[in-house]
């Protein structure tokens, strides 16, 4: 195997990325409404940012769990979505106490939906790679 592949199989890399993701989401939630406005100036971009953030967080957690456990992909997918959804709920609660921000059920639902989409795409890519590199008879 190549060096990049071996590096990607190191679980500490994925757990570190997940911790960085947690911190980045917390930091973004701590930004006031005035600080956020120039970064995501429109309603649409704000929702896209939620979708990208929580979809990627779910994928990172799923890969961390896959490299750290013997769990099935199904169990990993469910746990990853639940954990990221719960974090999304706490993120929305946190924003209730941030000046100029609000926590909404809609954003939490977007966070959860993006987690489902993220892990779905991960499983789809995994299956395609498995088919592509499966031994030919």
Check: CB of residue 117 under 8 Å from CB of residue 50: no
Nearest to 61 by CA among 46, 50, 45, 75: 75
- Rounded distance, CA 59 to CA 84, Å? 10
Q: What is the pLDDT along the chain (137 residues), one digit of tens a residue?
A: 556 556 667 889 999 999 999 999 999 999 999 999 998 989 899 999 999 999 999 999 999 999 999 999 999 999 999 999 999 999 999 999 999 999 999 999 999 999 999 999 999 999 998 888 878 76
Nearest to 67 by CA among 8, 136, 2: 8
């Amino acid at each position: 195997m190549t060096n990049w592949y071996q590096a990607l199989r190191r679980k500490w890399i994925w757990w570190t990325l997940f911790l960085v993701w947690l911190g980045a989401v917390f930091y973004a939630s701590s930004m006031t409404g005035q600080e956020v406005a120039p970064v995501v100036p429109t309603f649409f971009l704000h929702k896209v940012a939620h979708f990208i953030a929580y979809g990627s967080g779910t994928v990172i957690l799923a890969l961390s769990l896959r490299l750290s456990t013997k769990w099935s992909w199904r169990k990993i997918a469910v746990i990853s979505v639940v954990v990221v959804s719960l974090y999304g709920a706490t993120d929305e609660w946190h924003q209730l106490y941030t000046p100029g921000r609000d926590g909404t059920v809609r954003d939490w639902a977007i966070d959860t939906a993006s987690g489902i989409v993220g892990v779905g795409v991960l499983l789809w890519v995994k299956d395609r790679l498995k088919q592509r590199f499966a031994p030919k008879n």
